[in-house]
Structure 1
Amino acid sequence: MLFTDRLKQKVQPIIEEIYKDDFIQGLIDGDISKEALKHYLKADSKYLNEFAKVYALLIPKINSKSELKFLLEQIEFASSGEVGAHQILADYIGESYQEIIKDGSWYPTADHYIKHMYYNAYAHDDVAYTVAAMAPCPYVYRKLAQMAIERNDFSEDHELKAWFEFYYKGMDELMDILDNWLNDFSQHNSEEAIAVVERNFLESTVHERNFFKMAHQIEDWEFEVNQYEEA
């Protein structure tokens, strides 16, 4: 069994839970709150900007022109290509996308997730460590879209069907490249190193679940200030 096949087998129960969670079910049922979607867009727009920057950090670590071309393409997609999916949600909300995201913030869960990727980009010379932390993002979205489309009979006028279709199409080539990167790493490195890469993939899959939960729960920072009164 290929290394990435084993990874995907291990994370499938997590993806099933993401699918059953309130955020994805709300998209499927078409009854998700607009506040949850706005929260998601504010966080995801900032997340994707950082996602592109993490890809950029990998450029000095690669040698081939094909790998450079791939990274540049992914930087472009993360920084602008995914706006199409965001626009679908903004249209459902009925507000300007730019107005929704202009006051986006680093909520705790999103902050934790992106720092997981940055850590691996700075801590390891081999790109596989970072790729393993990044790959669950496109993989989880592609898998959720597939599950939603195959398990539901969406009407043609379903307002959020297009969001699932966006991620259902055109993700296979990206995943093939990421899979090849990870599988090659697994063939030339120690069991200890492979275990770290595997852990990165699993952790990011959990981060994906928490990201959707964060949006549904309208998560924000809670700062408690203890006030002491003089006796």
Structure 2
Amino acid sequence: MKLFERLKNDAAVEWSAYVDHDFVRQLGTGDLPQPAFRHYLVQDYLFLIQFARAYALAVYKSPTLADMRNAHEGVKAILDVELELHIELCSSWGMTREQIESAPEDTPTMAYTRFVLEAGMAGDLLDLQAALAPCVIGYAEIGKALVEGHGDSIGGNGYKRWIEEYSGEMYQALAGDFGGWMDKTSEVYLTEARYARLLTLFRKATQLEADFWQMGLDAADT
């Protein structure tokens, strides 16, 4: 079994709470309140800045040039694609790049990003990958599930652009490549004695992903 699938199966409760969160369901139906999505999107922009740093840390933690190139591709995907998607969506509400970048980090944003960075700084490349995986591969799974679950109705969904980005061929390939990279790293670093630690990191990162969705919903109620 692939390492990601094993981790996901062993963290089934946390994974379901993440990918089937009310925020995700409402995103798929288009019923998500715009303030919830807007707060999420701004915080996700700030999150991705820190995630780019985590990928840069992966370059440092990489034992081979091939690993360094994989980590570099992650940095590029965030800086050149994902951040620009967020700017595109936020600009439709009249928000400038400067306003987004100067927004304060919410507590769930800080908790998640610092957890990932600490996992990488305290551990090795595989620890960092375990902490990154729920976001990297999870978004691909969510995007694909939303398209498959809602079909033609996606065309009239106000969040179509977001769904298209994460269900699209480019992001699906990125997530697949990450899973393959994680498997190759595990061939070098993983032992059965160590697996429990990886699972703890993966579970916590998955819980923090669910908290991130909840942060968006909570913002709509304030």
TM-score w.r.t. the length of structure 1 is 0.82
Give percent identity, aligned residues only: 24
Query: Aligned partner of 2:81: which letter?
Result: G
Match of 2:79 in 1: 79
Q: What are the residue-to-residue correspondences of 1:148-227 with 2, within 5 Å?
A: 148-153=146-151, 154-169=153-168, 170-188=170-188, 189-218=190-219
Partner of 1:55: 55
CA contact (8 A) 1:109 1:211 kept: yes
CA distance in 1, matches of 2:141, 2:100: 26
Deviation at 1:84, TM superposition (A): 4.5
Q: Which whole-Å CA distance do the structure 1 matches of 2:210 and 2:179 have between them?
A: 21
**CA contact 1:148–1:164 (8 Å) conserved in 2:** yes
Q: Which residue of 1 aligns with 2:97?
A: 98
- Tell me by how many angstroms 1:159 deviates: 2.2
- Higher-helix-fraction structure: 2
Query: Match for 2:3: what amino acid?
Result: F
Q: What is the letter of the counterpart of residue 197 of structure 2?
A: V
In structure 2, the CA distance between the partners of 1:198 and 1:18, relative to structure 1 (3 Å rule), is closer
Contact 2:140-2:175 within 8 A present in 1 as well: no
Alignment partners' CA distance in 2, 1:142 and 1:176: 9
Which of the pair has more CA radius of gyration? 1
Q: Residue 5 of structure 1: CA displacement? A: 2.1
CA distance in 2, matches of 1:155, 1:61: 40
Q: 1:155 to 1:51 in 2, by over 3 A?
A: closer
Aligned-residue offset at 1:88: 5.8
In the alignment, structure 1 segments of 5+ residues that lack a partner are: 220-231
Confirm or deny: 8 A CA contact 1:42 1:100 kept in the other structure: no
Q: CA deviation at 1:101?
A: 1.2
Q: What does residue 129 of structure 2 align with?
A: 131
TM-score, with length taken from structure 2: 0.85
Name the residue aligned to 1:229. Answer: none
Distance in 2 (CA, whole Å) between partners of 1:100 and 1:35 is 16
Local SS of the residue matching 1:156: helix
Query: Which stretch of structure 1 is more off in the superposition, 17-26 or 195-204?
Result: 17-26
| Structure 2 alignment gaps of length 5 or more | none
